Every structure is written in structure tokens, then in C-alpha cells.
């Protein structure tokens, strides 16, 4: 789907990744958009107004107090005569100014004056990105309604440096811009029509006896949101859920299960699928021999010894299928430490295409909460997404999945 003929105001910040904006401008124009640009003073060190102007075929705005500009188009009009404002690359300094509401140059004045959605693509050195001040500022602008895309992980311009801080790739930024421009149009294009998406969600309960069970704190919120997002994109959805107290999502086929063994059986019955998302927190162990009667306290006061047995690993079984394997197998990795390293291991051992890794340490508030911070780990690398509502993580994950399984029908076209 193409979101045709939109007006994009691109603020180019001063970073080595500014050169990628040239490619982005070309592609946005090919897609029918008009692109106006503001270059910060620092951006001039990396790209020239001449090349930006040649590609946009528009004049390039650079200085708040340029009287000619103000006569021709005041900064307030510049801020409003657009459908979206995009900041790329967004430096730590520019993000700090946005967070603080500064307006001492044209870029920041426009960002403060605009009443349109803002999409920000940060790019900076990993230490600058991880600094608590930057993280605070990013959280602040997100709270103010700004969408933050990336940064990605990888090699930095500085020799020998790698980590989180790279500008996201241009197609991904374009997809984010177009989705922001017209989310409902994106959904109404139904890029997953004709596809079967299978999702596991929630915890499993492994009986100890008829009244007791082993369980975990998974709420099922993330998995259920993924089911809803896949449905909005037109997929036929089978949601296989362990015991949760969540409303039943509309328009999907919900299969309720209790144990891991039941979940596996339901998954096998629901196959084949084009996309399989394993968001459930499946209990790794079950009781080797659950009792059929309630276990009584023993007269000696000795607690009973519970012998555990391993549950089937559903993701691993589906990931390793050689026949009728889903095109895209997505697993989750809930970790309390070494999130990315563990996710990478899981990608391999479970033969998944993507692992969505998240930190579920008690301080993160992810378990049971509404928000999530995830890293998308694939063979191509790692992308760290900013903290988002679980519904937004779900929407972006399914949009990416749609691009992968039916690329001709998605926003990136």
C-alpha cells in the first residue's frame, strides 16, 4: 500500500547518518510524497543544502531568523503545512532540546510549534544513547506523543565501536512514517489477508494435584494484542491461550488450553500456518506424576517431594519442522539478564526466524504491565525498539511480519 501524496517535513540533524536522508528523500518522492527539509546548523557538516535541495526540489530551510524565509513562509506555517514531521538523524542534543521544549533555532522552534505527528529516528554513539540523560529525554518525548523509531544495533562510524545507536534502515523508517501518516489505511489494505497466523499466549498451568498447580506470572496481554493486531491486518488468526483473565479478542479463533501438552496439541491441530508467534510463557516443567487426589499434609510434617519432568518445547518443535514449517516462526525470550545474548542463543537452538527479547526483571514491570521494551533479534542483527504500549509492539511486529510474508501488499511498497 502506498500512502500517496503526503507532505513530509524532514528535519536533518547533525550526524554521520545524515547521508542516509538523501536516499530517504529520493525514495519518499518516488512514493509520491513531497518532502520539505530543515537542516540544523550541525547537519551542514555532513550533507550540503545543495544536494538536499536538488533531491527535494524545494528550498531548504536552515535558520529561524532568516527574514526572507519568514516572509515567504513563517516557521509556524512551516510547522503546520505538513502531514508529519520527521527528525533523522536525531542527535542526543536535538532530543534533549525537544525534551526540554527549547526553541532557539528553526528546527526546535518548528518541533515546538507543530500540531502534527512527529517521528524521531535517533542516531548516536552507543554510550550517548545509553546515558541516563538521553534515556530520560527519550522517555519524555515519547510521553509527549513523539514516535521514536530505533535506533538499531551495529557497527558505528567510529572505528571498532558497536552497539545500540545506528539510524534505522531507510525502508523501516519509511514504513514507520507511512504507518504514522495513515495507520487505519495501512490496516485497511489488509496485508495479511489470506494468511493464517497462529499465536500462543498466556501461561500454562501444570497440575500438582486437582487443586494445586505450577504457573508463572504471564498475563497473556502481549500475545492477545498480537492476535488482535494480526486480525486487524486481515489474517485468519488462531489464538491458543493458557489460563488468562483477559477479554476474548474479536474475530479470532480462540482455543483455550491449560497445560503445555494441551497447548502443543492445539498448535499441531491448528497447523499449517504462515506465521507462528510463540508468545506464551510455557512452563518448562510439569509434575512427573500429578496426583489424582489432593495431597494431604503428612503426619511426620515432611513436605512432599515433587518430581518434575520436562515439558515439550513447542517453539523448538515448530521451528525445526522440515515439512509445512510456517514461513515465519517468531519466539519470545523473557530474560532477567543478558537479554540479547540469550535471545541470540534461542534464535539458534529453537530454529526461530525472529526472537522478540524482553527484560522481565521485576523492576521492568513487563510481567502483567501494559508496556514493553523489546529487541527484535534475527539472523540479520538486533533492533532495539523504544518502550511502547504492548498494543503498539504488537502492531509493529505484525506490520513487519506482513512485510516479510507478503511484501508486495504492505506499507513499504
Nearer of residues 169 and 335 to ligand C5P, judged by Cβ: 335
Taking CB under 6 A as the rule, does residue 311 contact ligand C5P? yes
By CB under 6 A, the residues from 245 to 274 that bind ligand C5P are: 260
Determine the Cα–Cα distance for residues 34 and 158; give it in Å rounded to an integer.
33
Q: Contacting ligand C5P (CB under 6 A), which of 94, 109, 146, 333?
A: 333
Q: Are 280 and 223 in contact, with CB atoms under 8 Å apart? A: yes
Q: Which of 332, 390, 401, 409 binds ligand C5P (CB under 6 A)?
A: 332
Query: What SS3 class is residue 403?
Result: helix
Least distance (Å) between residue 206 CB and ligand C5P: 11
**Least distance from C-beta 33 to ligand C5P, angstroms?**
37
How many residues bind to ligand C5P according to rule CB under 6 A? 15
Mind telling me the catalytic residues?
A: 216
Verify binding: residue 314, ligand C5P, rule CB under 6 A.
Answer: yes
Binding status of residue 315 toward ligand C5P by CB under 6 A: yes
* DSSP string covering 157-216: SSTT-EEEEEPPPHHHHHHHHHHHH-HHHHHHT-TTTT-EEEEEESB--EESSSS-EE--
Q: Does 280 bind ligand C5P (CB under 6 A)?
A: yes
Give Cβ neighbours of residue 372 (< 8 Å, ≥ 6 apart): 222, 358, 366, 387, 388, 389, 390, 393
CA angle 193, 198, 200 (to 5 degrees): 145
Which triple of cell numbers denotes residue 99?
A: 525534551
- What is the smallest separation between the CB atom of 264 and ligand C5P, expressed in angstroms? 8
Q: In this complex, which beta carbon is closest to ligand C5P, that of residue 141 or of residue 401?
A: 401
Interface stretch with ligand C5P, choices 34-42, 79-87, 178-186, 307-315 (CB under 6 A):
307-315
DSSP one-letter code for 234:
T
Confirm or reject binding of residue 278 to ligand C5P (CB under 6 A).
yes
Please tell me the distance from the alpha carbon of residue 331 to that of residue 276, in angstroms, as a whole number: 8
Residue closer to ligand C5P by CB (options 167, 279) is 279
Residue of 200, 218, 222, 259 that binds ligand C5P (CB under 6 A):
200
Q: Kindly report the CA angle at 275 between 271 and 276, in degrees rounded to 5? A: 65
Closer residue to ligand C5P, CB minimum distance, 196 or 346: 346
149 near ligand C5P (CB under 6 A) = no
Q: What is the DSSP letter of 106?
A: H
Give every CB contact of residue 68 below 8 A, 6+ residues apart in sequence: none
Residue 354 as a binder of ligand C5P (CB under 6 A): the answer is: no
Applying CB under 6 A, the residues found at the interface with ligand C5P are: 200, 260, 278, 280, 282, 284, 311-315, 331-333, 346
Amino acid at each position: 500500500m502506498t500512502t500517496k501524496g503526503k507532505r513530509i517535513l524532514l528535519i536533518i540533524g547533525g550526524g554521520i547518518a545524515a547521508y542516509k536522508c538523501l536516499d530517504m528523500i529520493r525514495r519518499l518522492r518516488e512514493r509520491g510524497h513531497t518532502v520539505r527539509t530543515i537542516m540544523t546548523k550541525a547537519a551542514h557538516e555532513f550533507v550540503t543544502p545543495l544536494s538536499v535541495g536538488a533531491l527535494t526540489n524545494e528550498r531548504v530551510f536552515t535558520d529561524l531568523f532568516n527574514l526572507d524565509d519568514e516572509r515567504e513562509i513563517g516557521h509556524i506555517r512551516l510547522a503546520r503545512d505538513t502531514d508529519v514531521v520527521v527528525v533523522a538523524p536525531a542527535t542526543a542534543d536535538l532530543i534533549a532540546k525537544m525534551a526540554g521544549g527549547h526553541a532557539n533555532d528553526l528546527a526546535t522552534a518548528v518541533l515546538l510549534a507543530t500540531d502534527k505527528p512527529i517521528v524521531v529516528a535517533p542516531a548516536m554513539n552507543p554510550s550517548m544513547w545509553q546515558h541516563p540523560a538521553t534515556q530520560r529525554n527519550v522517555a519524555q518525548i515519547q510521553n509527549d506523543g513523539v514516535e521514536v523509531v530505533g535506533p538499531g544495533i551495529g557497527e558505528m562510524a567510529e572505528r571498532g565501536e558497536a552497539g545500540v545507536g545506528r539510524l534505522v534502515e531507510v525502508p523501516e523508517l519509511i514504513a514507520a512514517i507511512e504507518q504514522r501518516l495513515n495507520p487505519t489505511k495501512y490496516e485497511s489494505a489488509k496485508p495479511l489477508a489470506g494468511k493464517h497466523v497462529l499465536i500462543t499466549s498466556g501461561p500454562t498451568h501444570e497440575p500438582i494435584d486437582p487443586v494445586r498447580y505450577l504457573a508463572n506470572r504471564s498475563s497473556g496481554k502481549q500475545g492477545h494484542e498480537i492476535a488482535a493486531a494480526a486480525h486487524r491486518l486481515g489474517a485468519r488468526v488462531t489464538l491458543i491461550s493458557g489460563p488468562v483473565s483477559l477479554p476474548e479478542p474479536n474475530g479470532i479463533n480462540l482455543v483455550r488450553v491449560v497445560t503445555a501438552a494441551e497447548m502443543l496439541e492445539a498448535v499441531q491441530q491448528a497447523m499449517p500456518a504462515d506465521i507462528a508467534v510463540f508468545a506464551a510463557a510455557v512452563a518448562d516443567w510439569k509434575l512427573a506424576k500429578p496426583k489424582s487426589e489432593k495431597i494431604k499434609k503428612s503426619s511426620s510434617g515432611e513436605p512432599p517431594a515433587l518430581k518434575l519432568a520436562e515439558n515439550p518445547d513447542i517453539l523448538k518443535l515448530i521451528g525445526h519442522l522440515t515439512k509445512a514449517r510456517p514461513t515465519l516462526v517468531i519466539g519470545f525470550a523473557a530474560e532477567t539478564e543478558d537479554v540479547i545474548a540469550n535471545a541470540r542463543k534461542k534464535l539458534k537452538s529453537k530454529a526461530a526466524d525472529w526472537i522478540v527479547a524482553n527484560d522481565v526483571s521485576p523492576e521492568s514491570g513487563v510481567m502483567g504491565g501494559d508496556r514493553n521494551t523489546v529487541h527484535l533479534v534475527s539472523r540479520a542483527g538486533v533492533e532495539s525498539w523504544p518502550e511502547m504500549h504492548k498494543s503498539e509492539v504488537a502492531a509493529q511486529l505484525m506490520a513487519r511480519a506482513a512485510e516479510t510474508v507478503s511484501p508486495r501488499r504492505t506499507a513499504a511498497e
